[in-house]
Amino acid sequence: MIRPSATRIALIYPELLGTYGDGGNAIVLAQRLRWRGLRAEIVEVPAGEVVPADCDIYLLGGGEDEPQVLAADGMRRNRSLLRAVSGGAAVLAVCAGYQVIGATFPAGNGQIHDGVNLIDVETRRSFEPPDAPPPPRAVGDIVVEPSPQLGLPTLYGYENHGGRTRPLPGFRGIPLGTVRVGVGDGTPARTDGVVDGKVIGTYLHGPVLAQNPALADLLLTWVHGPLAPLDGPREVGILRDARAHALAEG
């Protein structure tokens, strides 16, 4: 059902989790609502402030090791994000944000830190035996074929991370998709990301919603229900086609 009030889009700790321009995801969501004649409000939540529990969509982006630890500590203290998700809010968490909303993640010194426990995944530098050489950092293009039940076209983005992420026993979600180009989660399953209820975690930067407007609309339908389709700027389709062609040629 279309709501009369503005859709509130929370951008969590952008000064900590905004290294790779992922704050652009908020702009994409807001603009796609406005193109449909719907109201949108972007709520920036600075580090140190309580995350509001009354937003509709929550966004977390990428960041470096120490800011990532600070972000996790802040969200664990007030637990507003967990309450919001329990109340039906949607979440998109990218890269460091994806790791933070899981159970545990590593910092630069190798120490393992507690995450927010919003999704049942864990992140390490490597899941190989301790005496094995560490895997190289994942940097470059990433192409993901989404899980069929999501009804999405191919996803394009960039990745830049040193973590490897896997689901924990009892995880009840699905992968965001299968990696065709790139590393993604970095596990033998060759997947990237997860979808658990209305929560999406992924390693795709871009910003991911600018390059993949269908993924943006999936988040919006979780909040609003079915929405009128948009043609959107022709440039997005042209750029996606050019990207696919360039990657196919290697």
CATH (domain of 74): 3.40.50.880
Distances (CA, A) of 96 to 65, 106, 153, 190: 8, 10, 24, 19
Tally of domains in the chain: 1
**Is 95 among the residues known to form the active site?**
yes
The pLDDT of residue 109: 76
Range of the domain at 233: 7-249
Judge contact between 144 and 179, C-beta under 8 A. yes
pLDDT of 147 above 90? yes
Q: Max CA-CA distance within the chain?
A: 58
Confirm whether 2 is domain-assigned: no
Separation CA 205–CA 77 (nearest Å):
27
Question: What mean pLDDT comes out for the span 26-38?
Answer: 97
pLDDT of 129 reads 79
CA 228 to chain centre: 24
Q: What mean pLDDT do residues 74-79 have?
A: 91
Return the higher-pLDDT residue of 236 and 94: 94
Is position 127 within any domain? Answer: yes
Q: Is 55 a catalytic residue?
A: no
Q: Parallel, antiparallel, or unpaired for β 121-124 and 164-167? A: antiparallel
- Tell me if 1 is assigned to some domain: no
132: in domain = yes
Is 213 part of a structural domain of the chain? Answer: yes
Sheet holding 104-106, edge to edge: 112-114, 104-106, 121-124, 164-167
For the cut 80, the answer to whether the pLDDT of residue 28 exceeds it is yes
The one catalytic residue in 55, 161, 205, 224 is 205
